[in-house]
């Protein structure tokens, strides 16, 4: 008999907690990662002298947790036997308000 009351309270607490968990709303642009500013126009310098193939990696906006900071473009040397270049890009995973920078790289 004494065990019924605590179990009833526990069950009621769980039902209320689960019910309230679905009541929150999230704005599409809410969260720690708003849309990045427009890309800056860059003058591409001549590549440095090198025996390795190089490709220009355009500048991009880096998110530091509080705001965006511009990262200048640079020449990237070819890595190993890689023969294809993938530009960096921002990706918004299914978690609202988050974003991930996928850096440019050789494939």
Q: pLDDT tens, 1-54?
A: 555 555 555 454 444 443 433 333 333 333 467 778 998 999 999 999 888 888
Provide the 10 A C-beta neighbour count for residue 96: 14
CA distance 31 to 98: 7
Question: What is the mean pLDDT of the segment spanning 81-98?
Answer: 79
Answer for the pair 68, 32: CB distance below 8 angstroms, yes or no: no
**pLDDT tens digits, one per residue of 59-70:** 988 877 788 899
- Whole-number pLDDT of residue 32: 60
What are 92's two structure tokens? 């918004």
């Amino acid at each position: 008999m004494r065990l019924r009351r605590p179990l009833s309270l526990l069950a009621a607490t769980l039902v209320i907690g689960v019910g309230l968990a679905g009541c929150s709303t999230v704005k599409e642009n809410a969260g720690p990662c708003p849309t990045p500013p427009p890309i800056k126009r860059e003058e591409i310098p001549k590549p440095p002298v090198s025996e390795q193939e190089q490709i220009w990696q355009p500048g991009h906006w880096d998110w530091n947790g509080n705001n965006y900071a511009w990262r200048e473009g640079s020449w990237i040397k070819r890595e190993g036997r890689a023969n294809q270049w993938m530009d960096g890009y921002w990706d918004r995973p299914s978690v609202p308000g988050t974003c991930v920078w996928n850096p440019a790289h050789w494939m």
